[in-house]
Structure 1
Amino acid sequence: MASTLDPGAPAAQGNLKARLRRAERLRKLKAVGLVAPLALFLVIVFVLPIGSMLLNSVDNGSLRQVMPATAASLQEWDGEGLPEAATFAAFAEELRDSRRGGGLGSVGRRLNYEDSGFRGLLMRTLMGLPRESDDWRATLIDIDPAWGEGVTWRRIQAAAPPRTDRYLLASVDLERGADGEIQRVDADSRLYQAVFQRTLVIAGGVTLICLALGFPLAYLLATLPARTSNLLMILVLLPFWTSLLVRTAAWIILLQSNGLANQSLMALGLVESPLQLVFNRIGVFFAMVHILLPFMVLPLYSVMKGISPSYQRAAVSLGAHPFAAFWQVYVPQTVSGVAAGTILVFIMALGYYITPALVGGPADQMVSYYVAYYTNTTNNWGMAAALGSILLAVTLLLYLVYHRLVNRKQMIGS
């Protein structure tokens, strides 16, 4: 009763609430300060590169940057006949100015994606371009008759919009026809659907082999005495201490015609002549499984180490067969480790480049090979980004499907 009659009580309560709010605000600021470096790292290392890749897959700004007037004029053209005389004049003036700053190279490279002879056409036109003309349409046609064909200008028109779906469609063997409808490319030009299928098959096969080899190995490591288990774990981690390139080169030496593998098989009388074990799919599986197996073993081992052996022994003591006890009691508890290991190995296998490029043959190259080709050889960043975006979308889709299946199995098991 005395506290309610005290005139200073409301002020004290207000001060207490203010101090609590300040303490809560300070706690939140400290939490944000602790998380901010990691969030900034994720933004710089993951979000920005992925966002840049997604933008590059639809970017079409080369022509607009170098020839803005031509691009704007062609976007208003209906595609019938030839463009207006003003378009010819703007194109001639901007073509002459494009020699400065390397603009002509970027335009020629972009238009070459529409027609492989466009760079040469631009160079011939630039060399024969006069300083002035009363009729730029006639002048350009005199330099090269291709400027009098509507198809030439329609190809330039295709490069005029700031965004395009050309690269994304091409990465799955599709294109837009003359009527603007999406259609499949010619049978002789179809490549990337088979490449994506091959990538998924190789990544899936490597994942299954790693699971088949890694599960019993992880179980052995988790059930052996600590001293023996630690020694074997060092052997499992040993590949991490060797360069990826060195390990890949070692497999080439082991699997070649006169390598240790073939010599051993011939010495045992299992084969009469050397087998082709390298520069094909067999060599790719050998090398990739060896490199990725530890990434399967470690998640499985971390989960199995926390499973008490008393559950399995209790099931056996109640009359269950040892295998039934293992399959129905022990294995369901390892689902999280299996999920983590398979997802980790599968995602890493999808993006492998060096190992298939060195150990595999032409029919064993994965999507990453073509991404590197378009990035380093042809400088076609749009196509490289489109292939990377499709691979990212496929990975996320498969992960969501797998995650749902694992959750459903866990719900059924519980």
Structure 2
Amino acid sequence: MAALAEPGPDQGANRGANPGLDRAEARALRARLWRSERRRQLRAFGLVAPLALFLAVVFVLPIVQMLGAAWHDRSVADAMPRTAAAIASWDRDGPPSEEVYAAIAADLIAGRQTRALALPAQRLNQELTGFRTVIFGTARALPDLGADAPPEGWRDTLTGIDDRWADTAHLVVLQRAARPWTSYYMLHALDMERGLDDRIARQPPDERLFVQLALRTLGIAATVTVVCAVMGFPLAYLLATVSGGVRAVLLVMVLLPFWTSLLVRTAAWIVMLQSEGLVNSALMWTGAIGEPLRLIYNRFGVIAVMSQVLLPFMVLPLYAVMQGISPWYMRAAQSLGAPFATAFRRVYLPQTMPGLAAGTLLVFMLSIGYYITPALVGGRGDQMLSYFIAFYATETANWGLAAALGTMLTGIVAVLFVLYSRVFGTRELSVG
């Protein structure tokens, strides 16, 4: 038996050769697997690349440009390059040199000839009221000596035309605006300002606007979110518990706003809530009120219309979660003696938290950037950040301040999302 168990010389040789052959085959197999995986990854990248390029061009790039416009402004540096180079070395210890005034005069003369002074004048006037008059008044009064005029006597010439050229405040503002990077817009969006000594302080009380505006925006968004949660939770519960036919009708009613233009829905609310509208007419007909209520162009109108518009974004995540909760949990709790309210609070409600968290986050993020509805149905004191972003971008062409407000809104959304994910966890934010 022992002799039968001993391997022969050929078997030993084959056994010694197999490990080397196996390693070679394993290396070849790994190479084929790597090439196959590489081809699969390239195919997947090729399918995703058009979408990634589209998102980068139409979504990421505009946001990056907006964020950059809040900090980067070359309107003065490009229109007055000699001034930007000369005044950069001014230490503010005494008046600037004759070379600085000569550069200012040369740039104003050249800008008058090329009609390139509008943007720098607007930029300087944003930071110091009246600077636009200084720029255009001086440019019109300067003699047409060309860009290579001698530097002697330009300080007296400029201060003779407008004595504000001797004012330190105007020169400091010109020096700051001539830099390509600026903090003016972001400080202004935070109701702050930089003094002549470069110290940052709060603006005077009568000039503070945007912090209060941001708090108003957060307050309206939070109120709309609470209203949607209070109305949406029982509606989603009804959708998840009724039979198929009734559920289909209710789902159509929930989804119907998605098939109607936002502008049309807002206009319909204006018709309903106005003094002679359907709501006031019905209340007066029933005798509940003696005169029409003011239901529009105020905070109530903004919250009511926004809640109706955003309600589906609360209902659908809740319904998606509630549909997956087995009714046997509630029945088991009640069979063990728990009242319906206790079973609902301790058994059913905790299981709906992922849907409630997702709906709350979705409604809050959408409402914080709303523009059309508050602009149409809100009063003067009910406008949100988005209204002023559009105002500064389209009405006054103050792109820097519009970008700063957009950056502040983006920052608020990012901070709230991080806090929300920390509190509820990323698992509750993903509702299938």
- Map of 1:356 onto structure 2: 374
Say whether 1:107 aligns with 2:125.
no
Unpaired stretches in structure 2, ≥5 consecutive residues: 1-10
- Map of 1:396 onto structure 2: 414
2-side partners of 1:292 and 1:209: how far apart?
A: 10
2-side partners of 1:20 and 1:280: how far apart?
A: 66
Say whether 1:62 aligns with 2:60.
no
Indicate the SS of the match to 1:193: helix
2-side partners of 1:235 and 1:175: how far apart?
A: 51
1:43-70, CA deviations, whole angstroms, 9 ceiling, x for partnerless residues? 2233212211111111132111121221
2-side partners of 1:306 and 1:104: how far apart?
A: 65
Match of 2:221 among 193, 199, 203: 203
- Map of 2:61 onto structure 1: 48
- Map of 2:322 onto structure 1: 304
1:186-240, CA deviations, whole angstroms, 9 ceiling, x for partnerless residues? 1111111111111001000000000000010001001111111011100111111
Bigger drift between 281-290 and 113-122 goes to: 113-122
- Assess if the C-alpha contact under 8 Å between 1:257 and 1:274 holds in 2: yes
One-letter amino acid of the counterpart of residue 273, structure 2: L
Indicate the SS of the match to 1:103: coil
Per the TM alignment, residue 408 of structure 1 is displaced from its structure 2 partner at its CA by: 11
2-side partners of 1:120 and 1:408: how far apart?
A: 55
Say whether 1:323 aligns with 2:341.
yes
One-letter amino acid of the counterpart of residue 36, structure 1: A
- Assess if the C-alpha contact under 8 Å between 1:3 and 1:9 holds in 2: no
2-side partners of 1:205 and 1:10: how far apart?
A: 68
Say whether 1:38 aligns with 2:51.
yes
Match of 2:105 among 67, 75, 92: 92
Match of 2:288 among 265, 270, 273: 270
Bigger drift between 376-385 and 47-56 goes to: 47-56
Say whether 1:81 aligns with 2:81.
no
2-side partners of 1:35 and 1:408: how far apart?
A: 25
**Corresponding residue pairs, total:** 410
Per the TM alignment, residue 181 of structure 1 is displaced from its structure 2 partner at its CA by: 1.3
Say whether 1:293 aligns with 2:311.
yes
Say whether 1:120 aligns with 2:133.
yes
- Assess if the C-alpha contact under 8 Å between 1:80 and 1:150 holds in 2: no
TM value normalised by structure 2: 0.90
Say whether 1:250 aligns with 2:262.
no
Unpaired stretches in structure 1, ≥5 consecutive residues: none
1-side partners of 2:284 and 2:394: how far apart?
A: 42
Q: 1:41 to 1:318 in 2, by over 3 A?
A: farther
Match of 2:256 among 218, 238, 242: 238
Q: 1:408 to 1:4 in 2, by over 3 A?
A: closer
2-side partners of 1:280 and 1:247: how far apart?
A: 17
1-side partners of 2:30 and 2:422: how far apart?
A: 46
1:148-172, CA deviations, whole angstroms, 9 ceiling, x for partnerless residues? 2222211211202221111111111
1-side partners of 2:39 and 2:231: how far apart?
A: 51
2-side partners of 1:299 and 1:88: how far apart?
A: 65
- Map of 1:339 onto structure 2: 357
2-side partners of 1:224 and 1:194: how far apart?
A: 45
Per the TM alignment, residue 137 of structure 1 is displaced from its structure 2 partner at its CA by: 1.5
- Map of 1:378 onto structure 2: 396
Say whether 1:171 aligns with 2:183.
no
1-side partners of 2:25 and 2:391: how far apart?
A: 72
TM value normalised by structure 1: 0.94
Bigger drift between 390-399 and 365-374 goes to: 390-399
Q: Which is greater in Rg? A: 2
2-side partners of 1:10 and 1:224: how far apart?
A: 64
Q: 1:45 to 1:409 in 2, by over 3 A?
A: closer
- Map of 2:240 onto structure 1: 222
1-side partners of 2:364 and 2:191: how far apart?
A: 24
Per the TM alignment, residue 314 of structure 1 is displaced from its structure 2 partner at its CA by: 1.1
Bigger drift between 279-288 and 115-124 goes to: 115-124
Where does 1:2-13 land on structure 2 (aligned, <5 Å)?
2=14, 4-5=16-17, 11-13=24-26
2-side partners of 1:87 and 1:389: how far apart?
A: 35
Say whether 1:260 aligns with 2:285.
no
Say whether 1:71 aligns with 2:84.
yes
- Map of 1:158 onto structure 2: 176
